[in-house]
């Protein structure tokens, strides 16, 4: 049986993502991640990231991209998006 995922509104989910990314030095250039609903119902993924804001003077690296996707993939298993 799959583990129940925590249901969050978009702003709460974005804050949770930023908290998790903030714990990872590879993602220091990311200032905000925006999410949107996929239109799917659990157990399918209920959200995806749509946009990334970054610090202008911090170059994007392959390591950052890899870490970002790993964090987001893990979080999709933990969290569902509530409709606003």
Using one digit for the tens of pLDDT, what is the confidence trace for 19-70? Answer: 999 999 999 999 999 999 999 998 899 999 999 999 999 989 999 999 999 9
Place of tokens 């129940």: 4
Cis upstream peptide for 43 (omega within 30°): yes
Q: How confident is the model at residue 84 (pLDDT cuts 50, 70, 90)?
A: confident
8: three-class secondary structure by DSSP: strand
pLDDT at 1: 52
Q: What are the tokens at 18?
A: 């930023």
| Cβ within 8 Å of residue 3, ≥6 positions away | 77
Residue 2: pLDDT above 80? no
Checking if the pLDDT of 71 tops 90, the result is yes
Query: CB neighbours of 27 closer than 8 A, spacing ≥ 6?
Result: 21, 64, 67, 68, 71
């Amino acid at each position: 049986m799959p583990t129940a995922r925590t249901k969050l509104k978009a702003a709460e989910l974005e804050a949770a993502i930023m908290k998790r990314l903030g714990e990872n030095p590879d993602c220091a250039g990311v200032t905000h991640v925006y999410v949107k609903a996929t239109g799917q119902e659990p157990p399918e993924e209920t959200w995806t990231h749509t946009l990334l804001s970054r610090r202008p003077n911090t170059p994007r690296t392959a390591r950052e991209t890899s870490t970002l996707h790993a964090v987001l993939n893990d979080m999709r298993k933990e969290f569902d998006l509530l409709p606003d």
